[in-house]
Amino acid sequence: MRSLGDDYVKAGNYPTPITFSLDWFTTPRLEFRRHRAVTNPVHIIGFLSQWKLYLEALPAAKDGQTFSGQRLDTSLLEKMSSEQLGQLYELMQATKDSIPTNVAPFSALPSIHALLLEAKAKKGAPTSILGLERLNWSNILLSGLTFDAIGKAIDKDEVWVASAFYGQAKFSAEELQKLAEVLDLPHAELTAGLGDHWFPYRGLGSAVPTDPVVYRLYEGIMVYGHPIKALINEKFGDGIMSMIDCYVKVDKKPDPKGDRVVLTFDGKFLPYARW
């Protein structure tokens, strides 16, 4: 046990796996010390097996710091006690306590938007689940409050809601009232940040985006932009597709070769004026 523990310490400053103690952020050495008095062979084997699996999962990156982890297996959740699930949920909430406002795209947004995104991240499950009856924790722990759920609450589409959270659309006074209720945020604070005085500064990010998802959309316009323009002109005439009177949808289409993303831009055609 000592040898295995030393291997973790020598490996670097990696996050520790979940041991369901109340102190989540302990070092590997401390976790091994806590369990050195254990005499039950089943507990010892289980403890060492989990740490061995964790050690094998550590990356071999040159910087020695990259750790992406992996998605939690739902079968493991079904084996956990209510107390363990409660502690796991508290850990999940702790990782969502702060939006990195000093990095893109949040650095370009007013702080009120970081507040919205933090509140969204913290919703989706009870504030305390210790002592409650066992529920469908697989869904609770592996999901959160979605833009679609918020949209249904304020009678707006999920894409529009997401754009408003990122400062690209404006909530009405009534929508801010509903949003405050959904996210458990002070209505006065939302009104002070996003009320009648505030209007979106549309366009987020650099001219050539660096985020892989956003870049692929940019790449799509670079490759297909002129062909799409030619087809619009051919079918509609001399004009443009409005991005003001436009509805955007993001759908998921199952496919045997892998799920596919379906993007729909439903914009009004606007002919150029002649005078």
The pLDDT of residue 94: 65
Q: Which residue has the higher pLDDT, 26 or 196?
A: 196
Which residues lie below 8 Å from residue 78, measured CB to CB, with a gap of 6+?
A: 138
- DSSP annotation of 105 reads T
**Per-residue pLDDT band at 131 (split at 50, 70, 90):** very low
Identify the pLDDT of residue 2. Answer: 53
Structure confidence by residue, pLDDT tens digits, 141-182:
444 688 999 999 999 999 999 999 999 999 999 999 999 999
> CA-CA distance, 154 to 61, in Å (whole number)?
45
In this structure, which topology does domain 212-271 adopt according to CATH?
Answer: Cyanate Lyase; Chain: A, domain 2 (3.30.1160)
* Position 107 confidence tier, pLDDT thresholds 50, 70, 90: confident
Closest CA to 47 of 32, 61, 60, 33: 32
Point out the residues that are catalytic: 216, 219, 242
Q: Which of 52-66, 126-140, 155-169, 225-239 has the lowest mean pLDDT?
A: 126-140
Summarised one tens digit per residue, pLDDT across range 191-246 is 999 999 999 988 887 788 888 999 999 999 999 999 899 999 999 999 999 999 99
State the average pLDDT over residues 16-34.
53
Residue 69 has which token pair? 């982890």
> Residue 16 has which token pair?
């520790």
Which of the two residues, 250 and 89, has the higher pLDDT score? Answer: 250
- Write down the pLDDT at residue 98: 61
Distances (CA, A) of 243 to 146, 181, 203, 224, 247: 24, 30, 12, 17, 8
Comparing 32 with 81, the larger pLDDT belongs to: 81
Q: How far apart are CA 49 and CA 45, in angstroms?
A: 6
Domain boundaries, the chain: 2-70, 74-204, 212-271
Task: Give yes or no for residue 91 having a pLDDT over 60.
Answer: yes
Work out the end-to-end distance of the chain between its first and last CA atoms, rounded to an integer number of angstroms.
Answer: 85
Query: Residue 265: what residue type?
Result: F
Q: 236 is written with which tokens?
A: 């509609």
The arithmetic mean of pLDDT across residues 45-54, rounded, is: 77
Q: pTM value?
A: 0.58
Rounded Cα distance, 134 and 83, in Å: 10
Please, which residues bridge with residue 246 across strands? 267
Which pLDDT belongs to residue 27?
A: 54
